Amino acid sequence: EWAAPLQHALEFGAISHERFLIGVTLLSVGNGLDVWGYSTLFRSFSIVAEARELKVTGPYRFVRHPVYLGQLLAQAGIWLILLETHVVWILFYIVFVALQLYRARIEDDVLAAAFGEPYQNWKRKTLWLP
């Protein structure tokens, strides 16, 4: 039952193979980046922004917020796969992106206050998007 939209899209040709492959790729890369980010954080992970340790290894070598980026990519992949162009889904994704950007800004402020110059140096070398 949960796969009904996907089954419908594939059975009736509503989604091209290319779109499906792009969606699955985004979903896979996003989830992989998400898991890699969480596993690198390990005990430093927190639901709210806390400055436990400045992580600069793993995916944090390439991007400042790999977990948020991974979630954005995965959601975009799901959106492509399900072929949802309804205004509610579009608004959901826009709000989701805005919330992730807001969370990232809060996290940046917390880390900057806690780690000062080491954080600023890392931030200059590591972009939000690689």
For 59-99, the pLDDT digits (tens) are 999 999 999 999 999 999 988 887 766 677 788 889 999 99
Could you tell me the CA-to-CA distances from 20 to 44, 53, 74 in Å, in that order? 35, 39, 13
* 65: CB partners within 8 A, 6+ apart: 100, 104, 107, 128
Residue 96 lies inside a defined structural domain of this protein? yes
Residue 35 lies inside a defined structural domain of this protein? yes
The total number of structural domains that make up the chain: 1
Residue 118 lies inside a defined structural domain of this protein? yes
Residue 5 lies inside a defined structural domain of this protein? no
Residue 19: which domain range?
13-43+55-125
For 10-64, the pLDDT digits (tens) are 554 567 788 889 999 999 999 999 999 988 987 665 545 556 778 888 999 999 9
